[in-house]
Chains A and B, each alone.
Chain A
Amino acid sequence: MTLVTDLRAILGDEDVMEEPVELHLYSKDASLMRGQPACVVFPRDAAEVAEVVRLAEAHGVPIVARGAGTGLAAGASPTEGGIVLVTTAMNAIDIDPQNRTAWVGAGVINLDLSKAAQPYGLHFAPDPSSQSACTIGGNVANNSGGPHCLAEGSTTSHVLGMEVVLAGGEIAILGGQAPDPPGLDLKGFIVGSEGTLGVVTRVLVRLLPIEPDVRTLLMSFDTVKDAAQTVSDVIAAGLVPAALEMMDRRMCQVVENWLEAGLPIESEAILLTEVVGETDGVISQAGVISEIAARNHATDVEIAETAEDRALLWKARKSAFGAIAQLAPDYYLHDAVVPRTRLVETMEAVYAIADRYGLTMANVFHAGDGNLHPLIAFDASDEKVNAMVHQAGEEIVAACLRVGGALSGEHGIGIEKRDLMRSNFSDLDLDAQARLKEVFDPCGVFNPRKVLPMGSRCFDFGGVRREVPEGVWV
């Protein structure tokens, strides 16, 4: 029996694709890396996923779980072939308003969850820029962030439990509505593991009450340094706004040219910040922030008065990556994180790298948590430019690590940064991570050769004998 015949016996003909054009559609995520899947499947529940996992193990082929494919690190690109398991048919939402939680299918779109929760006065806090397309399963796989995770944390802080299909097709329910489930926090470990430990089919998420009032402030500065100092001073004043975003001049120009959102195109940097809470609270917080901005030579401070004004400002922020198409046909969006106090020097280093290669770069990023997103606009059809973009990218990452940063703040490692992991971790650290991967996935079917570089599993300590099953990628 072939793999596809076996799969069709379980899922039916329609939910297993193998036509070349279909395979091509699912051959990559939003990164630049493409693979060649053997087939694409659309299971409807954990039981079907379990069957797929057992078949994959029996046939010795990888499974790459995928939601909407908005990932930027090639985590969902089937670069080792095998089965692309699309989660979008698992899209039920079951809200428990009393407990402020929801059981959500892995294929539910992030924004659809918040829309469904809105009638109950609730919302899901993680809000990646791709939230109108990306799925909860993808958010869990990458521990996604977004502008509003400054105050509320990334996806991991909002996952209370999960239904997950583990090796051997074992279906496990981990965590729950009650706090502090005893035992090792397996669900917490699975969040952010990029589909390499199992396939998450349903997620129990925390929902937060929609705050009664909000103020969105747009602050303009003549230097990046003044903007960064404002960020630090706001926090020193005891405030953690819901979001604190920075855009540089070039990004403002590009967005403004397209959207006419009223962004100040003459400023070197703008800060977009939002405070939420009771009306009296947001008014006084907005006042404190305005004063701090003025002290740091802000050239202008605007407070969005209406919901429309606020929506337009956020549209400007979240459309930045689309607007960049005006500059060049392709873009390479970086994601690295540095301690907030090292933002200014890191930005300067990043600009210098782009200048040295003559590349067009714009920046829009989460200043509050030091999460940089330098974006290089280029034409990928030019091989020479491609190589330069790649080289500049590595230099940017190195510059971030030099000041005590990390490889990725919210996009994940996937393949994009896999081989840079050695610059972030010691051999022993990587060995420990590889051991955990092996325990979860002894047959090596879950998204192999992602996250960990080749040869991570290279130690043997204390004379403890280890047996590695055949076919394990480590």
Chain B
Amino acid sequence: MTYHPPHISWLEVEIPGAPATAFQIAPKTIRDVEAILRYATEKGLVVQVWGGGTHSGYGIPPPPDFVMSMERLADVEAWEPDDLTIVVGAGARIETIEAMLAERNQSLVLSERPGDATVGGVIAAGVSGLRRGRLYATRERVLEVTMVTGDGRLIRSGGRVVKNVTGYDLHRLAVGAFGSLGVIVSVCLKLWPTPPGSATVLVDDLEQASQIVRPLAVVDVDGQLMVYLQGTEAEVESQTERLGGKWTPGLDWPADPTGAWQWSLRVPPAGTSGAITRLPGGWSHLAIQGVGEIRAASDNQDGAEELRSWAEASGGQLVMTKGDPAIFDPWGTKPPGLALQERLISEFDPARIINPGRLPGGV
């Protein structure tokens, strides 16, 4: 407790599920975040940034000196339905925002079943929703990022317009960076309108699914294949008829597989079905066809090493998203450009206090 900073002590909270640390805090303002990070840099304290805790299994989380929850920076600063943009605090829960947006038939398109996930958490982890094959991945939805660098500088990149090439795209670099450049405090996101018609259709195989040129999603859950359709009511009705098979109105999204160990297998899109056949026995899966993303869960890590070798030889990766990093390396073979990544991070977090070593290659 010797390093307990007096000027931020009143921000102290208890964060359920977070690692036990000497103190846990939740800043109320962006100024608080700046002060906290400046202090941490000065004292060399490692911080773990906490959203909803839903992606805390990624990488090797360093033993933090303190945990900082973004829960109080969760306000909707601006929502312009006609512009298809929203500006929200990073700590906003996706579910809360989606409930608000649904009143005007709009969506963040970040996650279909977000649970406790926050906007900032999903962006920092760089994970995408099941609709990514049709409506693109999370990085394409991020229009502006405001963040506080490790050494306490408040910086903004991008803008609050849906199309923008002004300056370097630092906001895209922040997607999937696990906070290594800075703590995301607020974002502007591109919304997507929800058309009136939708249906979930059970189909037998990919050939049947391929009758629809660009469906909203084709998802395989443990061998059961579902086609998701969205559009005008007339459009969805005729597509449902054409597809045949059992269907239900609305979009019935499946939950991610869960287990003691969880995985994200990524392969070139055409290799999705082949990748499913390579999963070790006993693994459950959810695969996004046409994208090459397979989410899987298992009781143990048996067979993971062989699967990783195959995935990497096929131009993909096997990433462990939950498990024991002491037993199994979460990321696998180091990506290219590591030295460059290290140098970039040093410009933003010179004392390496935010999630050090969490990215692939121990960056």
Chain A residues in the interface with B (C-beta under 8 A):
96, 98-101, 142-143, 145, 149, 153-154, 156-157, 166, 172-174, 176-186, 188-189, 191-193, 208-209, 211-212, 232, 235-240, 277-278, 280-281, 283-285, 288, 337-341, 366, 369-371, 404-413, 417, 421, 424-426, 428-433, 435-440, 451-452, 459, 461-462, 464
Contacts and interface: CB of A to CB of B under 8 A. Distances in A.
Interface string B62-75: 00000000000000
A99 B270 contact: yes
Interface in B140-168: 140, 149, 151-157, 159-168
B167 A277 contact: no
Contact of B235 (A189, A280, A417, A426): A280
Contact of A424 (B105, B140, B167, B269): B167
B350 interface: yes
Contacts of B127: 180
A411 B165 CA distance: 7
B172 A185 contact: yes
Contacts of A98: 270
A186 B344 CA distance: 10
A99 B232 CA distance: 29
Contact of B340 (A157, A288, A439): A439
A339 B80 contact: yes
Contact of B84 (A178, A235, A405, A461): A235
A209 B213 contact: yes
Contacts of B291: 179
B339 to A, nearest CB: 9
Contact of A189 (B151, B170, B332, B338): B170
B88 interface: no
A184 B177 contact: yes
Contact of A153 (B140, B160, B212, B238): B140
Interface residues of B, number: 94
B234 A437 contact: no
A420 to B, nearest CB: 9
B235 A285 contact: yes
B354 to A, nearest CB: 13
A192 B235 contact: no
Contact of B293 (A179, A338, A408, A409): A179
B301 interface: no
Contacts of A437: 168
Contact of A413 (B80, B140, B165): B165
A237 B234 CA distance: 14
Contacts of A180: 126-128, 137, 176, 264, 266, 293
B169 to A, nearest CB: 6
B56 to A, nearest CB: 17
B293 to A, nearest CB: 5
**When A and B form their complex, which 7 residue pairs have the shortest distance between CB atoms, in order from nearest?**
A238-B195, A178-B316, A177-B268, A281-B235, A98-B270, A284-B234, A280-B238
Interface of B: 38, 41-42, 80-85, 104-105, 126-128, 132, 136-137, 139-140, 149, 151-157, 159-170, 172-173, 175-177, 180, 192-196, 212-214, 231-235, 238-239, 264, 266-271, 291-293, 314-317, 319, 331-332, 335-338, 340-341, 343-345, 347-348, 350-351, 359-361, 363
A232 B82 CA distance: 6
A164 to B, nearest CB: 9
B232 A284 contact: yes
B269 A100 contact: yes
Given A179-B266, A409-B165, A166 B340 contact: yes
A281 B41 contact: no
Nearest to B58: A182
A439 B344 CA distance: 6
A464 B139 CA distance: 31
Contacts of A284: 231-235
Q: Which of B127, B176, B345 has the most CB of A within 10 A?
A: B176
Nearest to A154: B163
A149 B163 contact: yes
Which has the most chain A C-beta neighbours within 10 Å: B42, B126, B172, B351?
Answer: B172
B197 to A, nearest CB: 9
Contacts of A100: 269
A301 to B, nearest CB: 17
Q: Which of B132, B151, B169, B270 has the most CB of A within 10 A?
A: B169
A236 B151 CA distance: 42
Contacts of A369: 161-163
Contacts of A288: 232
B153 A461 contact: yes
Contact of A341 (B83, B231, B271): B83
B361 to A, nearest CB: 7
Nearest to A433: B168
Nearest to B84: A235
21 contacts: A99-B270, A99-B271, A100-B269, A149-B163, A156-B169, A172-B336, A174-B336, A177-B316, A178-B267, A179-B137, A184-B173, A238-B196, A277-B235, A288-B232, A339-B85, A341-B83, A404-B160, A413-B165, A425-B166, A429-B155, A461-B153
Nearest to B196: A238
Contacts of B153: 428, 431-432, 459, 461
B51 to A, nearest CB: 18
Given A288-B232, A462-B151, A177 B163 contact: no
B270 A212 contact: no
Nearest to B161: A337
B268 A189 contact: no
B161 A436 contact: no
Nearest to B239: A278
A209 B360 CA distance: 33
A426 B212 CA distance: 47
A339 B137 contact: no
Contacts of A232: 82
The CB with the most chain A CB atoms within 10 A, among B83, B167, B343, B359, is that of B167
Nearest to B275: A178
Contacts of B360: 182-183
Contacts of B162: 337, 340, 369-370
